[in-house]
Chains A and B, each alone.
Chain A
Amino acid sequence: MTADFMTSDFKTTSRRTFLTAALGAPMLAALTAACGSSGPSRSANTGGGGPGSASYWFLTSQPQEGIRTDTVKRFNAANPDQQIQYTTFQNDAFKTKIKTAIGAGQAPTIIYGWGGGTLRSYVSAGQVDDLTSWFGANPAVKNRLFPSAFGPATVDGKVYAMPTEAVQPIILYYNKEVFDNVGVTPPQSWGDVMDLVPKFNAKGIAPFSLGGQSRWTEMMWLEFLFDRIGGPEVFEAAYNGEPNAWSNPAAVDALTRAQDLIRANGFVRGFSSITADSNADQALLYTGKAAMMLHGSWTYGGMSTDGGDFVSSGKLGYMNFPPVDGGKGDPSDTLGNPAQYLSIYSKATDEQKEAAKKFFSTAILSADEIKQWIGTGSVPVVQGTQSELSTSKDADFLEFVYKVSTGAKVFAQSWDQALSPTAAETLLDNIARLFQLSIDPRQFADNMNQVIGK
Chain B
Amino acid sequence: MAVVTRQELRDLWVGGRGLLLAFAFSVLLSAITYLGATNQALNFLERREAVNLTLQVAVGVGALLALLAAADAISGERERGTLESLLLTPVDRPGLVAGKLLAALSLWLGALVVTVPYVWFLGHDVGAAGEAIGTGALAGTLLAIALTAFGIVVSSLADSNRVSLSVCLFTLLALFAPTQLPAGAQHGWAGEALLRVNPVTAAEHYVGAVVVDQHGWTRDLSWLVSPLVAAIALTVVAVVVVPRFLRLRGGVGG
A joins B in a complex: no
Q: Which residues of B contact A (CB under 8 A)?
A: none
